[in-house]
Amino acid sequence: NDCFFELGSASKDVIGVGSQIDKWSLKTVLGDDIVVGAQIATGSYVGTGAYGTGTVNTLTFESDPVLLLIAGVSSDTTYIAVIMCDANTGITFSGGQGPWSTWKSAGIWVTKTGNKVDWCAPSDVSASDAPAAQMNLSGIAYTYAAILG
């Protein structure tokens, strides 16, 4: 099924979701979690290879982070993290670049304090996989985007 959103110009209605032809308001589609004036913060960092609770990754934002997305690419692997800041939870994915690639996933520990988000690989992730799970492989350039509420 195709999924698309088209915003009506004056009413901010959503016209069509998949095969749906009725007009829905953004609030109907997204629920009560709409934040008017939400901001997106972007940036980058280079991984150090460190991992674990003693060497957490930290990002600090100008206002309250709600969702944090991080991506990095090596010569043959893509790394993606999705961190739900208010739920103090996140997951990372890593895998080859191509349609038939195998992917791994790992949960990560997340702590949000005010405008700051810390995350690290949990202790049950192997030492060989932990830097990738923590999105902190040495020398890899990571790019992030955060939705701020």
**Beta strand pairing call for 13-17 and 116-120:** unpaired
CA distance 78 to 73: 5
Query: Which tens digits make up the pLDDT trace of 49-107?
Result: 999 999 999 999 999 999 999 999 998 899 999 999 988 889 998 888 777 778 888 89
- pTM, entire model: 0.74
Q: How many residues does the chain have?
A: 149
Q: Which amino acid is at 63?
A: S
CA distance 26 to 144: 26
**Beta strand pairing call for 141-148 and 116-120:** unpaired
Give the three-class secondary structure for 51.
coil
- How high is the pLDDT of residue 100? 74
21 and 6 in contact (C-beta within 8 Å)?
no
Give the pLDDT band of residue 32 (cuts 50, 70, 90).
Answer: low
Say what percent of the chain tops pLDDT 70.
75
- Residue 126, CB-side half-sphere exposure with 13 Å CA sphere: 4
